[in-house]
Structure 1
């Protein structure tokens, strides 16, 4: 490959890596902001209507809670249930919601920050790879 093609490839990779890092940082920032400034409430876990009996397709459960200003909110759970920690119909979970936008929630103990950290690490790796390509070319 000639130097110009490598530089273009490195530039595209650097842009993609930067987007990955920024997406991960934004996700971490949102979770920490809601944890710090959000209102803590108990939410009721409800299974969405039309759930199949064999469990195929497994839609995420709904969370129903009441805000400080007495509005009843019902949102899709931001985290999927796992075998170790299932979210069954009728369970109660603690969550924090953003008072400015009650649809923005963080379920206590189920933050799963691994995805955001993976975006940061993957983006940084691609960014370093693109810088390496530029120095070699």
Structure 2
């Protein structure tokens, strides 16, 4: 159960996930929204679907790049957080957190359902993504 009300446009998408995956994705969603609230310059987050995946955009402030969440493939026990592949975010995450998380190419952080999610590290990664364009300008 999420701390935040799910937009109607995303309710069915989350209902379509297996319960154990849905719980993990809702936890990621909560962490993204919490991070946005405490990160200067981010503002309100727009929640929508992109490529059929729950997506989080900084439409109001234009401060960051899109974050998407999804299971990696049906029934394989993995889920992931996706970032725009033309950013340097995954490279930066790898430098900062080489052992804490598993990465998929230059586009995602992957988790197994039974992984302990490194919340502090992941929140830092979310803050970097949500302020990507702000930090690029500096």
TM surpasses 0.5: no
Give TM-score scaled by structure 1 length.
0.25
Q: Relative contact order (alpha carbons < 8 A, sep ≥ 6): 1 or 2 greater?
A: 1
TM-score, scaled relative to structure 2: 0.25
Please identify the structure whose Cα radius of gyration is greater.
1
